[in-house]
Structure 1
Amino acid sequence: MNTLIHPRTEQALRLPGPAGYPLVGALPTILREGVFEYVERCWREYGDFFQIPTAGRSRIIFTAHPDAIERILHTRVDNYYKGKGYDPLRPLLGNGLITSTGDFWVRQRKLTQPAFHMDNLRRMVPVMARCVEDMLGEWEARRRSGAVLDLHAESMHLAQRIVGFTLFGMDLSDREAASSRAVTESLEIAGQRMNRGALTLPLSVPTPANLRFRRALRTLDEIVYDIIGHARKAGPEAQPTLLRLLMEARDDGPGDGMSDQQLRDEIVTHYVAGHETTALILTWTFWFLGQHPDVYAKVREEIAGLGLTGAPAIEDLDRLTYTRMVFDEVMRLRPPVWAQTRTTREDDVLMARRIPADSFVMFSAYFCHHHPAFWDEPSEFRPERFTPERVRARHRYAHIPFSAGPRACIGKRYAIYELSTALALILTRFRIDVLPGQDVGIRPTATVHPDRPIYAHLRGPGR
């Protein structure tokens, strides 16, 4: 439960934290260690609340406790907004759902929500399945030749194809390499810019990183504006997609619909979020299944029980209860986005700690998911943590891979059905044998990547 006290009470309200350098605070240490490593070290030393020293009068407060996260994302969501902490992402995502705030965000959310209703998802699953089957046809030739797969590269390829068809009604494979590089590079540089904080140079300064970032943005913009142009030429009889729904959306009052700039921002947001994070979850699922043959066997048995001879229906996917537990455990250990930030509008109290107005609050799904008070042996891979009984008994904000509250990920069900479709069809056709001896760690930037390729052989399903 949240513990509230009078803000004037000063006992036990001072936050612990590491010492910093004059004028620049913790930035030199963060740049040397990496922000994830720095936060992890401080979390283990100072606990669920600590203050990161910064330059000037600003303050960064970190928390990984579900009680505090619930207040930030739900109870007092009005007081915790996406402020300057998201500025490094705004050149990439513009004013899309992830970065927008206030009334504009409310409007965009309402306009976008219908695309993810169950009726639309039901139409999307066969499209997802066709994309998977196309990939598996390519995999068969590679299996026969004994080729080694890079599982993350293959997952990115698949997720990008799926997002192109289901959200935009287009095959993006002809520009996949360019767009994939642009997304990966822009996200990585945006993450670096977030880490540097006050030391970040404006994008107008021609540093090597800024020049790469600007090139990546130009590539994405060329692709996205081309998609918008094709969609406008297709006319209203074209298949319903997210883009089509956004193009046809209108305000309650008189006026035109979204401008191309607004469409661009939403498309890039869903293009990035719709394949980058899902590909990472699928990649890590392959990795953990490869390390846990007993879990792998249970997943294969459950999928075999569907008796699939073609594309699964949503009702088939809903029967994959153990497989969903596996996805939940994968996302516990490797949440796609390891941390988020908010800025406080006014003074507040989080678990008996006074949080002044204009504070920069950072909270982490990764460390919340590894919190020993809520997870027994938190580093161990155990899908059984997600039986219905255990989920009901646990703090509802102890597991937030899709965030939570009013700003929870709009595409959560889309992602789960995409993952379920992909894994069901892949494991019906092949056995994925992750090569032994690979020491794969994490590379956390804006998202949580493997720090190296994950290689595997393909086998027939009965081998």
Structure 2
Amino acid sequence: MATLAEKPATTPTFKHWSEGIPSDADLAHIPGERGLPVIGNTFKQLADPHAYTKRMIETYGKVYKSFAFGGWSVALVGAEANELVLFNKDKIFSSEQGWGPVLDLLFPRGLMLMDFDHHRIDRRALSIAFKPEPMRHYSGALGSGIAREVAGWEGPMRFYPAIKKLTLDLAADSFLGVPLGPEADRINQAFVDMVQASVAPIRRPLPFTKMKKGVDGRKYMVDYLTRETNRRRAEGGGQDMFSQFATATREDGSLLPVDEVVDHMSFLMMAAHDTITSSATSLIYYLAANPEWQEKVRQEIFAVTGGPDGDGNPRGLDYDDLGKLDLTEMAFKEALRMMPPVPSMPRRALKEFEFGGYRIPAGQMVGINIYWTHHSEEYWDDPFTFDPMRFTPDKVKARHKYAWVPFGGGAHMCLGLHFAYMQVKILMAQLLQRYRIEVAEGYAPDWQAWPIPQPKDGLEVAFVKL
């Protein structure tokens, strides 16, 4: 179990993640490895992060250090580690300074990159966009947008690029409230470049590097979203998420500064766009590879919606019926367990603490490994088998609360998790009332693990009309 150091520790003032980094001597008592000169284990981690983690745990245990991406990080692995870091009841860990080395140049000041009071205040202001009335509005926009698009998906296709385009279009409609038109491709490319830059080995925006492309993508998005924020404020509110954010106020009644609205919106669109794309793709694969579960989910959707109409067209899923799709939600949760959209999560220790028998110094970068915990036999029977029945209420209650954390936990629990459930349920209702989803026998795509999982071949599926 996690234990804190007995002697009280004052919180050092680190204005930036690069200050107060512990020395090699400070970490000498923690097992691990430096790897190659200068680059450390960077390329080993990028090549196969899950195999690397498995080997490190087998060699050193569930607390180990590794040098990569220019510095040391200490891994804290398992559900108890997830609870210590994510619940963060003693305010030991900084999300802002943990994500800083990865996202400072790309998604600064997003909600995930805020700590403590600043995070709480802005989260409360932004939560207005996820209240029932706006969510009901998004539900209608998602339903019509998804129905239009998937009607043309019959036949073999690469699913990942198709759902990526659709989620961007849906984000534009639900989040921005306007069709993107010719700007869609440019905005999509900006997000692709920004996300890929987050794990680029070269961390400075030098010419022709991934980081330079990511920084250029951010500049484009800041210009676009700044213009849109000012326009929304001038024209008044709206039901779309961007208008809700642009006119959101803090506890003292003040509007959020324009640059903060832009940063929140940029981060949120990336998160909703890329993580839902990844999660929907993994769910489609696991339902195609497990046709008995696909049929169970289909029959539940038929029971809730009434099934296709007399002309074979899917009936829409009412907002008030979302909560009735228990099996659909369990299947989605199992897909999130199998392929979490954020496989690992960094933090920085603001105070010295102890975990697993090791003293971790103040200022140290630490990380939890969500993918490993989701596949550990400590918490899951036959963990590499797709089985939505793991999420029956009794099994959830019996399991460690932090053994399943695809949306994070604690104060930084994903603000848009209910939006993700809603979008995926609406997508499944449209697809499974139209098609049977098939993959070739024995097909198992190779997944790019970082920064957000995606099948390297785009996921080859066939949608066969019912």
Q: TM-score category by the smaller chain?
A: 0.7 to 0.9
With over 3 angstroms needed to count, the CA separation of the structure-2 counterparts of 1:395 and 1:218, relative to structure 1, is same
Q: Deviations over 1:85-113 (max 9, x none)?
A: 42331222121102223433222111101
In structure 2, distance between residues paired with 1:252 and 1:359: 33
Give the CA deviation at 1:132.
0.8
Q: Is the 1:61–1:361 Cα contact (8 Å) retained in structure 2?
A: yes
Matched, 1:247 2:249: no
Matched-pair contact (CA < 8 Å) for 1:368–1:399: yes
User: Aligned-pair distance for 1:116?
Assistant: 0.9
Match status 1:69 vs 2:82: yes
Query: Aligned AA for 2:399?
Result: R
Q: Give secondary structure in 1 for the equivalent of 2:113.
A: coil
Q: 1:210 to 1:296 in 2, by over 3 A?
A: same
Matches within 5 A, 1:118-267: 118-139=132-153, 143=154, 146=155, 148-192=156-200, 196=201, 200-203=202-205, 205-233=206-234, 235-236=235-236, 238-253=237-252, 257-267=255-265
> Residue 62 of structure 1 aligns to a residue in which SS?
strand
Alpha-carbon spacing, 1:80–1:264, altered in 2? closer, same or farther (3 Å): same
- One-letter amino acid matched to 1:98: M
Residue 84 of structure 1 deviates from its aligned partner by: 5.2
Residue by residue, what CA displacement relative to the aligned partner does 1:38-83 show, whole Å, maximum 9, x if unpaired?
Answer: 3332123333211214799x64210221112101111435110021
**Structure 1 residue 211 displacement after superposition:** 3.3
Moved more, 209-218 or 347-356: 209-218
Rate the CA distance shift 1:222–1:109 in 2: closer, same or farther, 3 A.
same
Give the alignment partner of residue 104 of structure 1, picking from 96, 99, 118.
118
The SS at the match of 1:61 is strand
Partners of 1:201 and 1:67 in 2: how far apart?
A: 32
Indicate conservation of the 8 Å contact 2:138/2:240, yes or no: no
- Which residue, 100, 107, 130 being the options, matches 1:116? 130
Aligned-pair CA distance for 1:284 = 0.7
**What secondary structure is seen at the aligned counterpart in 1 of 2:199?**
helix
For the residues of structure 2 that align with 1:68 and 1:32, how far apart are their CA atoms? 23
Q: TM-score, normalised by structure 1?
A: 0.87
1:15 aligns with 2:30: yes
Instruction: Give the CA deviation at 1:451.
Output: 1.9
Q: Structure 1's 173 and 393: CA in aligned 2 closer, same or farther, altered over 3 A?
A: farther
Cα 1:392–1:253 change in 2 (3 A) is: closer
Alignment gaps of 5+ in structure 2: 9-27, 310-314
Q: CA deviation at 1:17?
A: 2.0
TM-score (norm 2): 0.87
Structure 2 match to 1:42: 56
CA gap 1:372/1:173 in 2 versus in 1, 3 angstroms: farther
Structure 1 residues 423 and 348: alpha-carbon distance in aligned structure 2, compared to 1, 3 A threshold: same
8 Å contact kept, 2:122–2:250:
no
Contact 1:179 1:223 in 2 (8 A): no
Higher helix share: 1
| Alignment partners' CA distance in 1, 2:262 and 2:92 | 29
Q: Distance in 1 between matches of 2:211 and 2:5?
A: 46
Mapping for residues 45-444 of structure 1, pairs under 5 Å: 45-53=59-67, 59-76=72-89, 78-82=91-95, 83=97, 85-139=99-153, 143=154, 146=155, 148-192=156-200, 196=201, 200-203=202-205, 205-233=206-234, 235-236=235-236, 238-253=237-252, 257-306=255-304, 307-308=306-307, 310-436=315-441, 438-444=443-449
Q: Distance in 1 between matches of 2:198 and 2:339?
A: 20
Name the SS for the 1:305 alignment partner. Answer: helix
What is the letter of the counterpart of residue 176 of structure 1?
A
In 2: Cα distance, 1:186 partner to 1:223 partner? 15
| Contact 2:379-2:399 within 8 A present in 1 as well | yes
RMSD over aligned Cα, in angstroms? 2.6
Give the deviation of 1:4 after TM superposition.
Answer: 5.3
Shift in CA distance, 17/440, structure 1 to aligned 2, threshold 3 Å: same
> How far, CA to CA, are the matches of 1:151 and 1:409 in structure 2?
25
Cα 1:305/1:359, change in 2 over 3 Å: same
Kindly, what percent of the aligned residue pairs are identical? Answer: 22
* Cα separation, 2, equivalents of 1:109 and 1:253: 14
The answer (yes or no) to whether the contact 1:67–1:351 under 8 Å persists in 2 is: no
